[in-house]
Structure 1
Amino acid sequence: MDVFNYSCLDFLFTCLGLVFLLLDIGLDIFAAVSFYQEKAYVSLGILLLFLLGSSVLVQTYSWLWYSYEDFKRETKVESFLNLSQLRLLHWLQLGIYFRHAGVLEMSLRTFFTKCHDPEGFAVFLSHDLSLLRLVETFSESTPQLVLMLTIILQRHQLDPVTVSKAVGSFSAVAFSVTTYHRSLRSFLPDKENQQITSSVVYFFSYLFLISSRVTALALFASVLPCFIFTHFFCSWLVLVFFAWRSKGDFMESPGGEWLYRATVGLIWYFAWFNVVKGRTRYKLLLYHLYMLADISIVCGYWCWKMCTEPSYFEIPHLYAIIASVSIVAVYILGLLFKIMYYKFCHPNLGKNQLKEVKTNMSQTGVGLTTSKSVSGDEVDLAVIMSGVSEATYDFVPQINILREQSDTDVTDGSWPSPPAPGIQRCNKRMRKLAENFYS
């Protein structure tokens, strides 16, 4: 049975992701041209900093992941490029778009031709892309949203149309996080599969949490535009320190691991992100208490500024108080949705399930074909969630020898011809993140 099935819903999310990508590029160009025409050069410079910095970060991750896989290019789109051309494209900040093209190619091939994808390659590619989109969301889209809201507040442009645009932008950010969550779900065992309701609850939790956080930062930046950078830098240093103390092993090189820690600090500045396996209840509680306190302080400062200097923005005292309290209340509402998700929708995979899977493996004969026993504590949770045993990978030659000795239909001792049932290509990066999220 296939572990990674590419469903119609996955194809829909891939198409929506491509639409959002093109829309985001168009809106970025429109915003840059608008700032230039208005001669708002400071805002234009900050916007270009966000765009260029995010692009460099995402392209760096893309290049590192290619290097970790010995620069394998297995789609037709990517096969047109040699190593030098691939390097040049990443230097020109275009490498990520070939990943998009590769995912679209495999998606169309799998969906329209209805061909069997025994290795789950379409899902494998989409996993990397969903993670890169998440990095781009918190390094470009979310900071850019803070900038836009700050300008709107300073120009007194709060109207129903502007508010609707802001809600749409918040929804796009929450959609990106939800897409990442759907990628993690594909690693769950069949019996733990989550319904679409879990994605809806997850979406609303991050919609409220991120909208509250971004709005609070925009209010603070509207009265102290220079100090918002100090606030970010000091908070980011603290968060990177905690990311380092978490002792994760996501990347395969020391430099890449430090880049990942710096990125985690950036994501944590806006929203929670699981980086290590195991129980994170107290870490999550501490993080949200910190975020709630920070939002309360910056909103309280903005409210105090409105009350003591009413000519600053000409906002009535009562409106300022209501706005500040509402932002904090929205964050608490997001926490309630998050508690609802973890209470009713989130499966926790513990040691009992590790032992149960180990027993099932032995019953199917996989454990009997290896020359080394695997105890329940030695089985990796991420491998269990992917439905593939590490022993299958580590002892493939022994399995082939035993098959030959038992006169099975194996024509030669090479792997993977013919493919073993249930063996699929598993994205080890997303597998680690799934282990962190569901353990």
Structure 2
Amino acid sequence: MERATFSKYSWVDFFFSVIGVCTFLVDWGSDVWVATEFYCRGELFWFWVVVGLMVLSSVVVQMFSWFWFKYDRQLQMFSARTEGGTVFFRDQVKLSCVLHVLQLGFLCRHISAIRQGFRVWWRKEEGSEYAVYLTHDLSMLRLIETFCESAPQLTLMIYVMLHTNKARTVQFVSIAASTTSIAWMVVDYHRSLRSFLPDKAKQGWCSSLIYFLWNLLLIAPRVMALALFASVLSGYIAAHFLMLGLIFVLWAWRQGTDFMDSVGGEWLYRATVGLIWYFSWFNVAEGQTRGRSIIYHSFITTDGGILLVTWWCYRDPVQTESYALTLLINLLVIYLLGLLFKTLYYCCFHPKLWRPPVREPGLPDDLPDAEVSFRDVSIQDGTLSPQLLNKRMACHAAHFYSEQGVIRNTDSTNRAEPSNL
């Protein structure tokens, strides 16, 4: 039976950590540039919108980082394996709290990951597990930061261009930075999930490429549809977001999410999931989720169609005559390509994983290569040496890779539900 094995820190991990902090700084710098441009031109409304997105994103990310820091301090394995202290300066809680209040916690995590990665990869020092642990947390925080800031800001910049019917250099820079941030998040997140797979089901870079394509091709039309709708009925976009956001948060609650270690943290996570679902699909529950995915895409497709029809009816025919029909056709083609690539990924690249609740003597060992077991090594029995494994990302990996999985039991006529992590 295959198990998820510990992933050693390599130069690729170090490279991703460095590129990740560079992407973060470039995205942050472009945000400051955009806000400054709006302020200097007297466009105070757009200035405050950009600043509001930056503050909201930063506060949400810092809250997640702080919740995780407090939880990690309680893990004996974590403290034992990180001889130099936890993420922030030898376990100094007050200093860590100040850094988070000053909105520097996320940046310090980046610096800590690069420092630890350099020690492990270049100097060949111990602490590989700790370095991998840090990179997994950063991957999840980048995902949150992307959908709290980059995706909304990309929508905002496209809306401003449509509303004013002109574009400045700073807006193109902001669009490029936001798109790069989204693209990098998609690749980095998928790569982090892949590290939890058993050796028998390891995926190559081609799987990340297909995963990247279907996400980007589905997110782009969604962002464009929101921007087009806002360009004709800007007063209703906030109501649209609040209405759909509430629906998505309730849906996340109904799916019984169990990601954080406190009630307040869990509701913060559900609210964040609602924001992510506003732009893209994100699996939060274990088990076969084909039905949930179909429901989500049907809902989003219908919503997107309503947004585009509304824009078509309220648009200015003179200003949009040169590109309206072509834009609609291209958005439809891109969206269909995104669904096609997603289908291709799950048919050809996504391993079908199953996790029997109990290892029975009669369970066959010679399973097909496409059907392998997935287990979180952090809950292995005491006969095995404990590993410093990131439970949060392991949980997401179990959710993601059980998505189209085959669940078996010793009785071939019955299906067994997978156990929770």
* TM-score normalised by L of structure 2: 0.85
Measure, in 2, the Cα distance between the counterparts of 1:177 and 1:61: 19
Does 2:199 correspond to 1:190? yes
SS in 1 for 2:286: coil
Q: Quick check: 164-173 or 320-329, which moved more?
A: 164-173
Question: Gapped runs of 5+ residues in structure 2?
Answer: 366-371, 403-421
Q: Quick check: 382-391 or 45-54, which moved more?
A: 382-391
Cα displacement (A) at 1:352: 6.2
Report the counterpart of residue 20 of structure 1 in structure 2.
Answer: 23
Question: How many residues are matched?
Answer: 387
Cα displacement (A) at 1:161: 11
Residues 303-342 of structure 1 mapped to structure 2, 5 A cutoff: 303-306=312-315, 309-311=316-318, 314-316=319-321, 319-342=323-346
The answer to whether the Cα contact below 8 Å between 2:190 and 2:208 also exists between their aligned partners in 1 is: yes
Choose between structure 1 and 2: higher helix proportion. Answer: 1
Question: Gapped runs of 5+ residues in structure 1?
Answer: 362-381, 393-398, 400-419
Report the counterpart of residue 108 of structure 2 in structure 1.
Answer: 98
Report the counterpart of residue 426 of structure 1 in structure 2.
Answer: 389
Q: Quick check: 52-61 or 7-16, which moved more?
A: 7-16
Q: 2:163 aligns with which of 137, 154, 160?
A: 154
Structure 1's 164 and 94: CA in aligned 2 closer, same or farther, altered over 3 A? closer
SS in 2 for 1:113: coil
The answer to whether the Cα contact below 8 Å between 2:377 and 2:389 also exists between their aligned partners in 1 is: no
Does 2:252 correspond to 1:243? yes
Cα displacement (A) at 1:90: 1.1
The answer to whether the Cα contact below 8 Å between 1:357 and 1:384 also exists between their aligned partners in 2 is: no
The answer to whether the Cα contact below 8 Å between 2:229 and 2:311 also exists between their aligned partners in 1 is: yes
Cα displacement (A) at 1:116: 4.7
The superposition leaves residues 334-372 of structure 1 with CA deviations (integer Å, 9 ceiling, x where unpaired) of 1111111111111121146974999899xxxxxxxxxxx
Q: 1:42 aligns with which of 9, 34, 45?
A: 45
The answer to whether the Cα contact below 8 Å between 2:34 and 2:171 also exists between their aligned partners in 1 is: no
Measure, in 1, the Cα distance between the counterparts of 2:152 and 2:145: 10
Measure, in 1, the Cα distance between the counterparts of 2:172 and 2:73: 47
Measure, in 1, the Cα distance between the counterparts of 2:343 and 2:170: 32
Cα displacement (A) at 1:170: 2.5
**Structure index of larger Rg:** 1
Q: 1:108 aligns with which of 99, 110, 118?
A: 118
Measure, in 2, the Cα distance between the counterparts of 1:387 and 1:425: 9
The answer to whether the Cα contact below 8 Å between 1:3 and 1:386 also exists between their aligned partners in 2 is: no
Name the Cα RMSD after superposition.
2.9
Report the counterpart of residue 95 of structure 2 in structure 1.
Answer: 85
Does 2:280 correspond to 1:271? yes
Q: Quick check: 159-168 or 42-51, which moved more?
A: 159-168
SS in 2 for 1:39: coil
Report the counterpart of residue 4 of structure 1 in structure 2.
Answer: 7
Q: What residue identity is the alignment partner of 1:426?
A: L
Report the counterpart of residue 210 of structure 2 in structure 1.
Answer: 201
Residues 288-367 of structure 1 mapped to structure 2, 5 A cutoff: 288-306=297-315, 309-311=316-318, 314-316=319-321, 319-351=323-355, 355=359
Identity fraction in percent: 40
The answer to whether the Cα contact below 8 Å between 1:170 and 1:210 also exists between their aligned partners in 2 is: no
